[in-house]
Amino acid sequence: MNLKPFATIGLMLALACIETYGQDKVACWDRLELSFKHEAQGNPFDVPLEATFTCKGTRINVEGFYDGEDTYRVRFMPTKAGTWRYTLSSPAKELDGKTGTFEAVPATGSNHGMVETDGEHAFRYADGTRYYPFGTTSYAWLHMSKEVQEETLQTLAQTGFNKIRMCVFPKSYNLVKEEPALYPFEIKGITKDKKGNEVKVWDYERFNPAYFQHLETCIGRLGQLGMEVDLILFHPYDKGRWGFDAMPEETNIRYIHYLVNRLGAFRNVWWSMANEWDYVKAKTVDDWKTLARAVVQADPYRHLCSIHGSTATYFDYGMPEFTHVSVQDEAPVFTPSAAALLRQIFHKPVICDEVGYEGNLASRWGRLNPQQMLFYITNGLMGGIYVMHGECYQEGNDPIFWAQGGKLKGESWKRIGFLRQLLEAMPNPLQMADINRDLKTSTAGDGYYFVYLGKEITDYWRFNLPAKNASYGKLGAGRKFKVDVINLWDMTVETCPTVFETGKAADYRVEDVKQRGVRLPCAPYLLLRVTEVQTAG
């Protein structure tokens, strides 16, 4: 019984005959799951099931789904604390009219809610905590052997990543040939293609709940690791092997609804309509727009949503369905100013989800050296966008992390946690302080700068900052600063003992009153953190 000790008499009476369908207490942004038994006549996936949740003026409608074994579920993620009441409606009598309540309690610990955009160029959790995406990619790790799956999760647990990009459907590619243990649809039969290979014929009317249960387990475990899941709904790496890249339009929509109904209540899910959308030959630009609209219409929570193309291929990211820009492109990360260019064009956050992978492949997209990977990530951050990691080391028959998971073998991933800490300590997201004029200095607010020297190797930095400080107040005289010399590769921070004092701006620049500077190690990838020193009075 989901009665609570302090429920009113009236409520007690109303609920007296109600069975327990789910938990009676759920933290905000956690998941309530209700389950119901119903033996369907005909296709159980065709039974409509809706639920309305209300709490103090908020009303959210969600759809339930069939999860096999005569079980229907409704999942719900409470968006605020309080008593939520729900009512089911369905043409199926056993499901219709069920009501209940549960208590949403405030989130605690590492639960900061869903990640959202901040309305400008960055992200934050629903509770206001900043979220700076540091992600990697492992497209099909969840379709590998159980051992590799476990190894992947153990690997991720040791990293500083807070985002992973992965596919719902299995992947067939040059270096990825594994057959998944489970399939998303029931098999109707087996046929042969022109070459005589066996091809499964799917019953697109009937999903395989076990496939999606496994996906959910993976998403749940990633959530426990603090990772957002940038879930790829469609991709081109199939080409007749399973046919999931070329399903009928009706099936695509049906699949989207089933997926969103199952996963909408997972707070760490993002929708990525596609990986390399333009390589999916069976879909047009208009198809992608239709599918994106279908996702957003089905999702009452408005999870982050974008679409990813092949190298330097930009979709119409102005579409309101897309909360952010997700691209594969190196050009924006060659320099901070190129990154800033993207930030200026799109009035949404920008994620470079692919700028090449650290690795040793023969293909040039998979052979960045680790320093270059980190350099690209840092350039993007300085320009005010976000750049994801990826790794492709091919060693014998070991899984390659980029698609199969397993172990990370490279070097750049080890610096991610360090970089993330630097960002999370900032008062505001980064942007160029004096766009197009100072190509090295980014600002995180009044009195908080990063100067990135990149590949420049020098033994001295004369203290100097732009007078312009983005939309913050101009930098003037009499301000005191300290400088931390950060070696991003070695992950060291050394604070220069000098306290600098700004003079008056001259010709757009501000220097130290005594023209002092900082002695530097002759090393690349130095980041200078220049922050105001609070002085008494």
Binding site for a second copy (CB under 8 A): 311-314, 316, 318, 329-332, 334-335, 337-338, 340-342, 344-345, 364, 435-437, 439, 507-508
CB 123 within 8 A of CB 195: no
Distance of alpha carbon 26 from alpha carbon 14, whole angstroms: 21
Nearer to a second copy, 238 or 330 (CB): 330
Distance of alpha carbon 327 from alpha carbon 520, whole angstroms: 35
Nearer to a second copy, 340 or 451 (CB): 340
Nearer to a second copy, 191 or 436 (CB): 436
Distance of alpha carbon 330 from alpha carbon 200, whole angstroms: 38
Alpha carbon 16 to its chain's center? 43
Nearer to a second copy, 133 or 356 (CB): 356
Nearer to a second copy, 62 or 338 (CB): 338
Q: Outline where DSSP puts E strands in 142-247.
A: 163-167, 185-192, 198-207, 228-234
Nearer to a second copy, 320 or 537 (CB): 320
Nearer to a second copy, 148 or 352 (CB): 352
Q: Where are the alpha helices (DSSP H) in 405-502?
A: 416-424
CB 280 within 8 A of CB 274: yes
CB 2 within 8 A of CB 24: yes
| Nearest-approach distance from CB 303 to a second copy, in angstroms | 24
Provide CB contacts within 8 A for 424, sequence distance 6+: 130, 132
Nearer to a second copy, 246 or 331 (CB): 331
* Amino acid (one-letter) located at 393: Y
Nearest to 132 by CA among 448, 457, 436, 426: 426
| Nearest-approach distance from CB 314 to a second copy, in angstroms | 5
Coil/strand/helix, residue 361 = coil
User: Which bin fits 515, alpha (ψ -120 to 50), beta or left (φ > 0)?
Assistant: left
| Nearest-approach distance from CB 75 to a second copy, in angstroms | 36
Structure tokens that stand for 140 in this block: 């099909």
Nearer to a second copy, 138 or 337 (CB): 337
| Nearest-approach distance from CB 435 to a second copy, in angstroms | 5
| Nearest-approach distance from CB 436 to a second copy, in angstroms | 4
| Nearest-approach distance from CB 474 to a second copy, in angstroms | 15
Name the helix (H) or strand (E) containing 52: strand 50-55
| Nearest-approach distance from CB 331 to a second copy, in angstroms | 4
* Amino acid (one-letter) located at 9: I
| Nearest-approach distance from CB 360 to a second copy, in angstroms | 14
Distance of alpha carbon 260 from alpha carbon 62, whole angstroms: 10
Provide CB contacts within 8 A for 8, sequence distance 6+: none
| Nearest-approach distance from CB 347 to a second copy, in angstroms | 8
Nearer to a second copy, 344 or 371 (CB): 344
| Nearest-approach distance from CB 337 to a second copy, in angstroms | 5
| Nearest-approach distance from CB 341 to a second copy, in angstroms | 4
* Amino acid (one-letter) located at 228: E
Provide CB contacts within 8 A for 148, sequence distance 6+: 141, 399, 404, 405, 406
Nearer to a second copy, 52 or 117 (CB): 117
| Nearest-approach distance from CB 200 to a second copy, in angstroms | 35
- Annotate 61-115 with three-state secondary structure: EEECEECCCCEEEEEECCCCCEEEEEEEECCCCCCCCCEEEEEEECCCCCCCCCE
Distance of alpha carbon 242 from alpha carbon 93, whole angstroms: 37
Nearer to a second copy, 298 or 339 (CB): 339
